Amino acid sequence: MAFFKYLITLALTVSLSGFAKGQSEPYPKSKQQNMEWFLNAKFGLFVHWGLYSQAAGLWKGHQPKGGEHFMLYERIPVKEYAQRANDFNPTGFNAEQWVNTLKQAGMRYIVFTTKHHEGFAMYNSQCSDYNIVTRTPFKRDPLKELAAACKKADIKLGLYYSLGRDWEDPDVPTCYPVKAGRSNTWDFPDEDGKVLSRYIERKVKPQLKELLTGYGEIAMLWFDTPELITREQSEDLINLIHSLQPQCIINNRVGNDSVGKYISDYNILEQELSSETRMKPWEACITMGKNWGYNRFDTIYKSPEMIIRYLSDVVSKGGNLLLNVGPTDKGVFPKESFTVFNGLHEWLKINGEAIYDTHPWRISGEVLNTVYKDMPEATTNNAMKDAIHDATPKGLIPDVRYTVKGNYLYVIARSISQPDFILKAIRPDDDIKSIELLGQKAKVAWSFSRDGMQINIRELQKQQVPIYVLKIKTKS
């Protein structure tokens, strides 16, 4: 029976050309080729690193609000904030160590913050001396070293760029959550006198040109906070990017990605999961701890089990997971992050085939013994939507997620304690040939009943992370 071949074709169609809720036209074929690596990679590392890392959650003897946005919340003048650079000397930074760590953990790309909202460039910008090479005793260009390390290790390099916020520049008005809500109004109080186009021509375009001409191949530009960027300005930036690196993909935070008009290549969900399989390529970005940037008081990180749950959920719905780490002021990953990195390594070296190069199945998953279409999104009452905010699920519910590749269906059984359970989504006419448990010699007994496929894993070896993968082969 060719049922699973049909599912594979359907999944590819869904992820590249299908109709999402509210969309008026399919995802254009002209964008599909550049997206292929992204759709197969599934997992990347987000790096938030800047002058806020030097403060590390402490300002004038107290813990400021806003995490890496504390310049805004404390209303710190640019001249005073810039003094952070005098002590910023990340001598522990080693680009090859960064890349080796993420690669061993199973990540296939990295997104590096070249300029966050503070306006400070974390590379050797020629158009603004407000950068790590000119202003700090470090005097090195970390992006140059990172680009070389990524090329050597065959890791895709993506660059983050804060687009509609820049607290160092006098011409950046904002609109969230109200007029001037995220503007530097203590240094530059005349909000109505700010001319966004001047900032774009003076800083944004020159810096994008530097990034796209000085560091080799850039796989993606990860824009943030478009704020008041107009549609014409968004399209102008996209044209500039593609004139320099045609293969570079761009997220929807370049702005003005209206329904049915695919200005960007993929969508972003921040600190939350999706309630449904999405048709346009998408990515969920999630923190390991509480903050995006390094904070000395942030010592409770998500467990490897929880992050693997996020990864499998996102992939089952056609997305990628971009997991964030905030390096310290010394340029090293926090010690708490290595529990996560090591746990991911151990799980993915056995079960990675259920994640990489896969596609969504006919449903994303089910709670064990109760079929459900999609897991509801978690909600939060935290009003700080652009700083410390986390709406990801926290429960460890025994359930499964499904992915498919070739003639194989992968059943990712999450947080299970019992070796026997029922999969209601799988039917006798799915034409199953064999079932194995990845990474173990345990035999899997299976049969069909009125309730669905009954699974019993004999001599199951308990793992530190209780997430197991059944690999189901079908007759073709």
The reported pTM is: 0.92
| Alpha carbon distance 281, 257 (integer Å) | 13
Note if the bond before 177 is cis, omega within 30 degrees: yes
User: Dihedral angle at the C-alpha atoms of 69, 74, 77, 79, nearest 10 degrees?
Assistant: -70
* Per-residue pLDDT tens digits of the chain, which is 476 residues long: 443 443 444 444 444 433 233 334 556 666 777 899 999 999 999 999 999 999 999 999 999 999 999 999 999 999 999 999 999 999 999 999 999 999 999 999 999 999 999 999 999 999 999 999 999 999 999 999 999 999 999 999 999 999 999 999 999 999 999 999 999 999 999 999 999 999 999 999 999 999 999 999 999 999 999 999 999 999 999 999 999 999 999 999 999 987 556 789 999 999 999 999 998 899 999 999 999 999 999 999 999 999 999 999 999 999 999 999 999 999 999 999 999 999 999 999 999 999 999 999 999 999 996 544 444 433 333 333 555 678 898 889 999 999 999 999 999 999 998 889 999 999 998 889 999 999 999 899 999 999 999 999 988 888 889 999 999 998 76
Q: Which two tokens stand for residue 185?
A: 């109004």
Residue 381 burial (C-beta neighbours within 10 Å; 0-12, 13-18, 19+): exposed
**Considering only CA atoms, which of 255, 27, 253, 215 is closest in space to residue 110?**
215
- Identify the pLDDT of residue 370: 54
Q: Where are the alpha helices (DSSP H) in 200-245?
A: 205-213, 231-244
Looking at this protein, which amino acid is placed at residue 3?
A: F
The domain 364-474 belongs to what CATH superfamily?
Golgi alpha-mannosidase II (2.60.40.1180)
Query: Are residues 243 and 205 in contact, defined by beta-carbon separation less than 8 angstroms?
Result: no
- Identify the pLDDT of residue 24: 40
Residue 165 burial (C-beta neighbours within 10 Å; 0-12, 13-18, 19+): buried
- Identify the pLDDT of residue 15: 42
Q: Decide if 26-358 and 364-474 have a common fold.
A: no
447: helix, strand or coil: strand
Query: Are residues 121 and 169 in contact, defined by beta-carbon separation less than 8 angstroms?
Result: no
Query: Are residues 120 and 168 in contact, defined by beta-carbon separation less than 8 angstroms?
Result: yes
Residue 144 burial (C-beta neighbours within 10 Å; 0-12, 13-18, 19+): middle
**Considering only CA atoms, which of 119, 114, 111, 134 is closest in space to residue 38?**
111
Eight-state DSSP code of residue 154: T
Looking at this protein, which amino acid is placed at residue 87?
A: D
Report the sign of the C-alpha dihedral through residues 73, 76, 77, 81, in that order: negative
For domain 26-358, give its CATH number from 3.40.50.360, 3.40.50.300, 2.60.40.3620, 3.20.20.80: 3.20.20.80
Q: Which two tokens stand for residue 294?
A: 């390094």
- Written as one string, the DSSP assignment of 185-205 is TTT---GGG--HHHHIIIIIH
- Identify the pLDDT of residue 386: 57
| Alpha carbon distance 241, 207 (integer Å) | 11
**Considering only CA atoms, which of 3, 23, 6, 4 is closest in space to residue 279?**
23
Task: Calculate Rg over the CA atoms of the chain.
Answer: 23
Strands 43-47 and 319-325, sheet pairing: parallel
- Identify the pLDDT of residue 262: 74
Domain boundaries, the chain: 26-358, 364-474
**Considering only CA atoms, which of 435, 421, 429 is closest in space to residue 472?**
435
| Alpha carbon distance 380, 391 (integer Å) | 6
Residue 164 has, within 13 A of its CA and on its CB side, a CA count of: 21
- Identify the pLDDT of residue 7: 43
Report the sign of the C-alpha dihedral through residues 131, 134, 139, 143, in that order: positive
